[in-house]
């Protein structure tokens, strides 16, 4: 029997070949998603949804559509479902044009500190504030490419139910005709044209559902349960000022 080379030992068997699913969305409202490394209310927005935001959107539609059917075996069910969603490899292809608008708002918001200090107050404590928001106008289609494994149909069903990414109300319309199944990722970072860097957060390799569940006492840790990596987006900055940025896709 010929000696097995180290390479052949590591190559996956043919039946476990990863399938990749690419889905397409039409942005239908302005997009905003605070960068995960932001510490203040006045924050910059990501240009496109991050893998973390996409996985959270998948988890949301999963729980909304199937959660009630698993009231008795919820813990076991969510553990399996969460694991495959957590392990998805996600590539994002931004739309052809993006315009980032920077706006300042004067608004009144709930003052938690005043409320805690005096719980007998008859009225809600509000405070004046000035916040700075970035809203991104996406022109064209947003594509998401995912390693689907053997969950292709399930993943597609979940993607088709998503109607927003990022901040609530940042609507995206799923386009069924834009779905593609491939044996290789449809797109990957190409550093030979140039790129724009965006911090991309993702779920950690060993994160559990309870760590990200706000109703659980388990705490998520930055760097372990929420990992921030550098994302390379195929975008070219064509104009910028204090009020706006314009990007074109390479």
Partner 1 sequence: MTFTTDTNNTLEHHKFAGISLILKQVLKQDANSTNSVALESWLSDIQPAPVWIPLQIHDGITKIMPVLPDSGLYSQLTASICQYICGGNVSQCLNWNNKSYQFTGVEVDSDALHVILVSISANEPLPPTLGRAIHAQCFQWFATANPALSEHLHQQNILPFTVGIQYTSRQRIQLKITLLKPELLAPLLWGLSQNIGSEITLAGIPCRLGQWLNVVESSSFEKLMKLPTQNTIELQFVSPTSFKQHQNIQPFPLPELVFNSLLRRWNHFAPLDLHFPEVKWQGLVSAFDLKTHALKMEAGAEIGSVGWVKYRFLDPEQARIATILSRFAVFSGVGRKTTMGMGQVRIKN
Q: How far apart are CA 117 and CA 177, in angstroms?
A: 55
Name all contacts of 60-68 with Cβ < 8 Å and 24+ positions apart.
Answer: 60/162, 61/158, 61/161, 61/162, 62/158, 64/161, 65/158, 65/161
Instruction: Please tell me what DSSP assigns to residue 31.
Output: B
**Residues 6 or more apart in contact with residue 105 via CB below 8 angstroms:** 130, 131, 132, 133
User: In 3-state terms, what secondary structure has residue 221?
Assistant: coil
Residue 158: CB minimum distance to partner 1, A:
21
Residue 35: CB minimum distance to partner 1, A:
10
Which is closer to partner 1, CB of 74 or CB of 195?
Answer: 195
Q: What angle do CA 150, 145, 75 make, to 5 degrees?
A: 50
Binding site for partner 1 (CB under 8 A): 37, 91-93, 187-197, 199-200, 228-241
Residue 47: CB minimum distance to partner 1, A:
10
Which is closer to partner 1, CB of 144 or CB of 158?
Answer: 144
Q: Is the dihedral of CA 181, 183, 186, 187 positive or negative?
A: positive
Which is closer to partner 1, CB of 180 or CB of 240?
Answer: 240
Residue 104: CB minimum distance to partner 1, A:
14
Which is closer to partner 1, CB of 53 or CB of 78?
Answer: 53
Residue 224: CB minimum distance to partner 1, A:
15
Which is closer to partner 1, CB of 12 or CB of 214?
Answer: 12
Residue 92: CB minimum distance to partner 1, A:
6
Instruction: Please tell me what DSSP assigns to residue 169.
Output: T
**Residues 6 or more apart in contact with residue 233 via CB below 8 angstroms:** 47, 48, 92, 94, 195, 196, 197, 198
Which is closer to partner 1, CB of 170 or CB of 233?
Answer: 233
């Amino acid at each position: 029997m010929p000696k097995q080379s180290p390479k052949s030992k590591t190559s996956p068997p043919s039946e476990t070949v990863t399938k990749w699913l690419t889905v397409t969305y039409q942005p239908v409202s302005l997009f905003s998603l605070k960068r995960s490394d932001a510490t203040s209310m006045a924050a910059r927005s990501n240009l496109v949804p991050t893998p973390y935001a996409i996985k959270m959107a998948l988890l949301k539609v999963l729980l909304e559509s199937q959660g009630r059917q698993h009231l008795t075996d919820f813990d076991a069910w969510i553990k399996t479902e969460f694991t495959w969603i957590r392990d998805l490899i996600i590539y994002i292809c931004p739309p052809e044009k993006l315009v980032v608008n920077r706006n300042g708002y004067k608004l009144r918001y709930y003052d938690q500190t005043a409320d805690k200090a005096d719980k007998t107050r008859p009225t809600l404590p509000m405070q004046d504030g000035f916040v700075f928001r970035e809203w991104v106008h996406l022109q064209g289609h947003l594509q998401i490419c995912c390693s689907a494994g053997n969950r292709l149909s399930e993943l597609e069903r979940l993607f088709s139910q998503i109607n927003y990414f990022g901040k609530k109300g940042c609507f995206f319309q799923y386009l069924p005709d834009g779905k593609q199944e491939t044996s290789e990722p449809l797109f990957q970072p190409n550093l030979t044209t140039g790129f724009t860097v965006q911090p991309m957060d993702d779920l950690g390799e060993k994160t559990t559902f309870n760590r990200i569940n706000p109703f659980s006492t388990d705490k998520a840790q930055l760097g372990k349960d929420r990992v921030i990596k550098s994302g390379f987006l195929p975008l070219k900055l064509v104009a910028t000022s204090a009020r706006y940025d314009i990007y074109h896709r390479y």
